[in-house]
Chain A
Amino acid sequence: MITRLYQSLIAAVAVLFMSAASAQETQKEIDGEGWFDRMSKALTSLNFEASLVHVHGDQIEPYQWFQAAGEPQSQELLIRMNGPDFRILRMGNRVAHFHTSASNYSLRADSVSAILPEAFTKPFANLKDTYQVTIGGGARVLGRNAQHLRVISRDNQRYSYSLWVDRSSGMLLKMMMHDQRGDIVEQMQLTSLSIREDSPGVLKEVSDLEMPPLLSDLRILNKPGFPVKPGWQPQGFELITKQSHNLVAESTLVDHYLFSDGLTEYSVYIARLTDDMETDVALSSSQTLFTMRYNDYLITVVGQVPLSIAQRIAQEVR
C-alpha cells in the first residue's frame, strides 16, 4: 500500500517537473522584445473590459477601461470613477475628452494615453535606440500567470518601467514606473479583466456618438522669439516642436521646446523674467519641474525625467 502511494507520488512529481520544464521551454522562445510586442498587440487588438487603479504620488484613482478591436475602427473608452465624471473615448485615431464641467474636445491620436505611454501600443523597435527590455521571472498577477518585463533606458538617465504581462493573452496587467534609485514614481494595476470575443456592450452604445471638435484648430503657431535656447538633451531625446505661445493658465509669453525619446517627453520653457516670478522652484513627483534664472530669463523644465536631469537641461539653456 505504502509503496503504491510512493509510486503515485513519484509519478506526480515527475509529471510536475516535466510540465514545468516544457513551460520553461516555451517561455524561452519569446525574448523581452517579443513579450513587449505581444503586449502592444494585445493593447490594440483585444476586446476587453477591465477595471484598474492608477497610483501617483498620494493619489489613487480607479478607472474602468474598455476596448473593442472591431471593424471598421477600433474603439477604446476610459472612465474615471472618482471625482467629477471624466471620460476619454477613442474611435480609430480620434480621441475625445468628455468632462462634466468643461467643454469637450477631440484630439488626433492612436491611443488614449492617459495612463500608459503611447509607445506601449507600438512595436518595441521604435524604442530600441534608447531603451532595452529585459525579461524577468514569472509572477501571479490578477490571478493570472504573468511574465515580468523591465524597460530600462540604455544610459540609465531616465525613469524605467516594470511591466507584468499576461502569459496567455499578452495583456498588460500591472505597470510600475521607477526613478533611478528604484523608488516607485507611478503605478497601475488591473483589478479585473475580462477578455471577450465580441466588443463590450458599452462601446456599441457610443458608436454613433458625435465627436467634439478638434482642439488644435484653435491654436496659432509662432516661432520662438528669445535669443536663449536649450543646448543639451539626454541621449536619445529629440526636439519635436519649438514655438512661442502664451501659457494656458497664465498669460506669460514663453518659448516652448518639446523633446521626446519615444517613450517619455519633457518641455523646456523660456520666459522673460519679471518681478513676480519665482526663480528657484523644484518639484519631483510623477512630474518633475525645475526652474532657474538665466540672466533676464526664467528657464523651466517640466516632464517625467529625474530631477538631476531636469536641472542639467535647465543649466545648459544659453
Chain B
Amino acid sequence: MSRKLSEVTSALFDSQDVDAKELDDVLNDEQSVQIWHRYSVARAALKNELGASIDLDISQRVSAAIESEGSNVIKPGFGQSKSQNKAASKWFQPLAKVAVAASVAVVAVMTVQVYQQPAGADGASAEPALLTNPIGGREPVSLNHVEPMSQVSDQQRRRQVQSYLIDHQQQLMLQQKESDDKEEQELNKGN
C-alpha cells in the first residue's frame, strides 16, 4: 500500500500514523519537505504564532538574479563607454565657447570685398563687388563668427566692418533707452 507522497505528507501533518518507510520517503523528497514547510507556515499564521521569525526577505534572491543577468541590464547614462559619455555631454553643452563676451551685437561677416569705384563716377553706380552677411535686425547677441582667412588685409577689413556693425547695433539699443530721459535740447543740435 504505497500512498502518494503528498497523501503521506498530509497524513503526517494531521498526526496520523505513517509507517517508517513512508516517513523516510517523505524526508528524502525535497518537494514533500517544502510542502511540509509551507503547511507549517500556514498553520502558524492561522494560529497567529508566526511572529517575526519567518524570513520573507527576497532582496538577496533578486540581486542574485540580476547579477546573473547583469550584462543585459541597462545602466543610466548617454552611452555604454566613457568616451561616449563624454562626447554626449559635450554635445549637450551650449556652444558658449564660440561666443565672445562683453560685446553686445551679433555680426557674422562671411565675406567682404572691396569695391573698386571707377573714378569720377556720379555716385549712382556704387554697387559693390560684394559683400557680406551680417546677422541682421537689432539682435544684441554676442557671437563673433569669423572664418579664418589667409590675408591680413582681409582680416583687418572684417574686423573693421564688424566693429562698426556691432557699434551701430549697440547705439540703437542705447538709443531706445535714452529716448525716455534724454532732453530735447541735446537733439537736433547742429542738424
Q: Identify the A interface with B (CB < 8 A).
A: 54, 56-59, 80, 83-86, 93, 95, 97, 99-103, 105, 107-109, 113-115, 118, 185-186, 214-216, 219, 229, 238-242, 247-250, 252, 254, 256, 258, 260, 265-267, 269, 276-278, 280-287, 289-291, 300, 302-304, 307-308, 311-312, 315
In the bound complex, CA of A276 to CA of B156 (Å)? 8
In the bound complex, CA of A263 to CA of B131 (Å)? 25
Whether A107 contacts B177 by the Cβ 8 Å rule is yes
Q: What 3 A-B pairs have minimum CB-CB distances, sorted nearest first?
A: A286-B136, A249-B163, A282-B128
In the bound complex, CA of A107 to CA of B170 (Å)? 11
Report the contact-size class of chain B (Cβ under 8 Å from the partner). Answer: 35 or more
When distances are taken between beta carbons in the complex, the residues of chain B under 8 Å from A239 are: 187-188, 190-191
Min distance, Cβ A269 to any Cβ of chain B, angstroms? 6
Which one of B132, B133, B134, B166 lies within 8 Å of A249 (CB-CB)? B166
Whether B126 contacts A290 by the Cβ 8 Å rule is yes
Which one of A219, A282, A285 lies within 8 Å of B115 (CB-CB)? A282
Q: Which residue of B lies closest to A82 (CB)?
A: B95
Whether A286 contacts B99 by the Cβ 8 Å rule is no
Whether A57 contacts B176 by the Cβ 8 Å rule is no
Whether A108 contacts B133 by the Cβ 8 Å rule is no
Q: Which of B95-133 contact A (CB under 8 A)?
A: 95-105, 108-109, 112, 114-117, 123-124, 126-128, 130-133
When distances are taken between beta carbons in the complex, the residues of chain B under 8 Å from A108 are: 176-177, 180-181
When distances are taken between beta carbons in the complex, the residues of chain B under 8 Å from A101 are: 94, 96-97, 99, 101, 142
B139 at the interface (CB under 8 A from A): yes
Whether B177 contacts A216 by the Cβ 8 Å rule is yes
Query: Chain B interface mostly helix, strand, loop or mixed?
Result: loop
Whether B175 contacts A281 by the Cβ 8 Å rule is no
B173 at the interface (CB under 8 A from A): yes
B9 at the interface (CB under 8 A from A): no
Whether B180 contacts A281 by the Cβ 8 Å rule is no
Given contacts A267-B168, A289-B164, contact A283 B102 (CB under 8 A): no
Whether A58 contacts B133 by the Cβ 8 Å rule is yes
B160 at the interface (CB under 8 A from A): yes
Given contacts A109-B177, A214-B177, contact A311 B123 (CB under 8 A): yes
When distances are taken between beta carbons in the complex, the residues of chain B under 8 Å from A102 are: 99-103, 142
Whether A258 contacts B171 by the Cβ 8 Å rule is yes
When distances are taken between beta carbons in the complex, the residues of chain B under 8 Å from A254 are: 167
In the bound complex, CA of A118 to CA of B138 (Å)? 10
B135 at the interface (CB under 8 A from A): yes
Whether A113 contacts B112 by the Cβ 8 Å rule is no
Q: Which residue of B lies closest to A105 (CB)?
A: B104
Whether B114 contacts A249 by the Cβ 8 Å rule is no
In the bound complex, CA of A185 to CA of B171 (Å)? 22
Which one of A214, A242, A266, A280 lies within 8 Å of B117 (CB-CB)? A280
Whether B161 contacts A281 by the Cβ 8 Å rule is yes
When distances are taken between beta carbons in the complex, the residues of chain B under 8 Å from A58 are: 133
Given contacts A59-B133, A107-B173, contact A283 B112 (CB under 8 A): yes
Whether A84 contacts B159 by the Cβ 8 Å rule is no
Whether A84 contacts B177 by the Cβ 8 Å rule is no
Min distance, Cβ B78 to any Cβ of chain A, angstroms? 20
Whether A283 contacts B134 by the Cβ 8 Å rule is yes
B26 at the interface (CB under 8 A from A): no
In the bound complex, CA of A72 to CA of B12 (Å)? 86
Min distance, Cβ A157 to any Cβ of chain B, angstroms? 13
Whether A285 contacts B136 by the Cβ 8 Å rule is yes
Min distance, Cβ A260 to any Cβ of chain B, angstroms? 8
Q: Which residue of B lies closest to A250 (CB)?
A: B163
Min distance, Cβ A102 to any Cβ of chain B, angstroms? 4
When distances are taken between beta carbons in the complex, the residues of chain A under 8 Å from B123 are: 308, 311-312, 315
Given contacts A84-B143, A109-B176, A290-B126, contact A103 B96 (CB under 8 A): no
Whether A99 contacts B168 by the Cβ 8 Å rule is no
When distances are taken between beta carbons in the complex, the residues of chain B under 8 Å from A84 are: 94-96, 98-99, 141, 143
Whether A240 contacts B164 by the Cβ 8 Å rule is no
In the bound complex, CA of A83 to CA of B186 (Å)? 40
In the bound complex, CA of A52 to CA of B182 (Å)? 34
When distances are taken between beta carbons in the complex, the residues of chain A under 8 Å from B127 are: 307
